[in-house]
Amino acid sequence: MLTRRLLPALLAAPALAQAQPTPFRRPVRVIVSSAAGASLDTLARVLAPAVSARIGQPVVVENQGGANGLIATQQVARSEPDGTTLLVTGDAIVLSEIANPQPGLGFREAFAPVVQAVKAAQILVTHPGSGFRDVQGYIAAVKAQPGKLNVGIPALGGIAQVVHEVLANRVGGLPVEYVSYRGGGPATLDLLARNTDALVITLPAITDQVRNGAIIPLAVTTGERDPALPEVPTLAETVAPGFDIDSWQGVLAPARTPPATLAALNTIFTEALRDAAVSERLTGLGFAVTALPPDQFAARAAASIETFGPVVRALGNAGPRS
């Protein structure tokens, strides 16, 4: 039986809990370093409601594409480090750091990792009118018309261009003209309009278009077929044995964000990623949920620089079509 002394304390407990200090006293802005429709945008918008439910504040997703993600990077890096302005980005942030370093805006100096949320395959696709239906046909078409085919990439010097260059090195050269965009959304629209001949993009950005036949898949870049599109072969099993490259996406906070706030953010985003509905939605699109903690996220970013640095530097002055 409850005593008269204990009962008031129990009744007051919820009020005391609500009065505890929280780092989220206003809406959280999630800045996406690509235009709407890209896989980064999809990730942010799938996560936003689950994160909002856990912090008790609105989560507002804003797209800041352009300049290979530099606009978004600058905005978040210069924001108040209080946990209410975050960046959703991918390996492009470290690859662009190799090609075009910006003082004070590097991954390690300007940001604090929150969580590496997902990883995903890159995929080589074309439109129904291109005339080729498999990666072997694509390679043959490129070699038969050196420099004539246009290949869309979501960002200049990003992971899509890197994997195409690695493939080119494996198959004796693929002389194409790259067309860069402000993210995967505009790149996909141009492929659908048949303004480009092929596109390399993060798989979840075009899962639905592949399933409905609007886009023709040629091959994925991971060592195994992707469960979201199991009918699509790998580069490894078709033209480049051993080929195995994926890409990552995650959440960053400004440097100097207090450790307690970073810890709270990591817990909240990890819980959101492991939410059954969120995980099912992301997996169905072709993401693999990783939810890696900050130290492992930082290690993966460093590995990307080491692995792909030589390829990015070798790209030299390759640029978008005017």
281: domain CATH number is 3.40.190.150
- What total of structural domains would you count in the chain? 2
- The answer as to whether 1 is a domain residue is no
- From 32-36, 216-220, 239-243, 257-261, the region with the lowest mean pLDDT: 32-36
Q: How far apart are CA 52 and CA 41, in angstroms?
A: 16
CA atoms within 13 A on the CB side of 288: 15
- The answer as to whether 3 is a domain residue is no
Q: Are residues 179 and 196 in the same domain?
A: yes
- The answer as to whether 178 is a domain residue is yes
| Tokens read off for 19 | 């009065």
Q: Are residues 148 and 47 in the same domain?
A: no
189: domain CATH number is 3.40.190.10
- From 11-15, 172-176, 310-314, the region with the lowest mean pLDDT: 11-15
Q: Are residues 30 and 143 in the same domain?
A: no
pTM of the model: 0.87
Rg (CA), the chain: 22
Residue 234 DSSP one-character state: B
Q: Are residues 102 and 44 in the same domain?
A: yes
- Domain interval for residue 152: 121-245
Q: How far apart are CA 295 and CA 266, in angstroms?
A: 11
For residues 85-102, average pLDDT: 88
Q: Are residues 103 and 133 in the same domain?
A: no
Confidence band of 316 (pLDDT split at 50, 70, 90): low
Q: Are residues 129 and 267 in the same domain?
A: no
- The answer as to whether 5 is a domain residue is no
Last residue of a domain, one of 245, 266, 288: 245
Q: Are residues 126 and 237 in the same domain?
A: yes
